[in-house]
Amino acid sequence: MNTTWLPVLLLLFYLPFSGYLSDDYLAMDESDMESAVDPGFELQEVCSMNNRSFLPGEKIVYTVYYKLGFVWLSAGEVTFSVGEQGGDYHFKAFGRTSSTYDRLFKVRDTYTSRVDKKSLMPLEAIRDVNEGSYTKYAHLNFDYDNRKIVAKHGRTKDKLEVDEIEMNTCIHDVLSIIYYTRNLNLNGVRKNDVFDFNVLFDDKTYEVGLQYLGREENMRIRRAGGDFDLIKFSPNLIAGKVFNEGDRMVVWVSDDRNRIPIQIESPLKVGSVRMVLQEYEGLKYPLLAKN
């Protein structure tokens, strides 16, 4: 059975693949930008985003289902949370397999990101991956004064390679990009328009794209407990070990001011995966998209 659903969906529709699948990439992005992370950064007009969609204390939990044949099986859970300290937001995503799947392939993945409150641009990011016998640790430090990113990465915290990446464009980490894109301005956006971004994964920067597919009203999502008004997106998928050529992932986001993903669905080379909203608390606004 293919167990790659968790690293694929852990960070919703923006995450590359963790671990041994990092050379294949799930891509997506956005663009609604105004000022800068740092006044001296030359891209100050295009790097910053005002936060209008979330507050500290937000917590969102998703159930991940794996489809083999005609049966959808509950395979794990992903939890996203938002904290704050001083002038920074602290994001955390934790993904785990269910107790049943633990016997086959135990996953405990943790992603954290610290971002500037005013710009939503990343300052520091960590991913700590534990998937079966595979481990991976990566630490990114975004140095805007010197326009570089220091990337430390390796199988364990004790054995890390160090790379410096030149920051000559706006770059996000795989967790901060989620909260950044929740604040996209869709005014004037037409169906099939694509938002483009740069996302850093360990020591590599990827150009990724997110296609806007329009809106859907009163879509029934039984496992999320109701009918929803949704905005539909499709991130780029790169054919390789996980996806076939032409595969499309679809993401349905609440059509309200929260912009939280309600359901994500994607084919894999073997089976399919679906991530569905299970519970939430601390949203900035009422979830008006739920009818």
Question: Is residue 273 within 8 Å of residue 66, measured between CB atoms?
Answer: yes
Mean pLDDT lowest for which of 51-55, 70-74, 150-154, 183-187?
70-74
Q: What is the mean pLDDT of residues 112-135?
A: 93
Give residue 249's pLDDT band: very low, low, confident or very high (50, 70, 90): confident
Least confidently predicted of 2-16, 198-212, 252-266: 2-16
Domain boundaries, the chain: 5-281
In this structure, what token pair is assigned to residue 104?
Answer: 């086959």
Q: Rounded to the nearest 5°, which phi and psi values hold at 73?
A: -115, 135
pLDDT at 107 (0 to 100): 87
Both structure tokens of 102: 């633990």
d(Cα 182, Cα 52) in Å, to the nearest integer?
9
User: Using one digit for the tens of pLDDT, what is the confidence trace for 145-174?
Assistant: 999 999 999 999 999 999 999 998 889 998
Nearest Cα to 119, choosing from 173, 45, 210? 45
The pTM assigned to this predicted structure is 0.83
- List the single range of 50-64, 172-186, 231-245 with lowest mean pLDDT: 231-245
Q: Classify burial at 233, counting beta carbons within 10 Å of its beta carbon; exposed 0-12, middle 13-18, buried 19 or more.
A: buried
One DSSP character per residue, the chain reads ---THHHHHTTGGG----GGGTTS-EE-------S-SSTT-TTHHHH-----S--TT-EEEEEEEEEETTEEEEEEEEEEEEEEETTEEEEEEEEEE-HHHHTT--BEEEEEEEEETTT--EEEEEEEEEETTEEEEEEEEEETTTTEEEEEEEEETTEEEEEEEE-SS--EETTHHHHHHTT---TT--TT-EEEEEEEETTEEEEEEEEEEEEEEEEEEGGGTEEEEEEEEEEEE--SSS--TT---EEEEESSSS--EEEEEEE-SSSEEEEEEEEEE--SS--TTB-
Contact 264, 57 (CB under 8 A): no
Mean pLDDT (whole number) for 68-85: 89
- Please, which pLDDT band fits residue 21 given cuts at 50, 70 and 90? very low
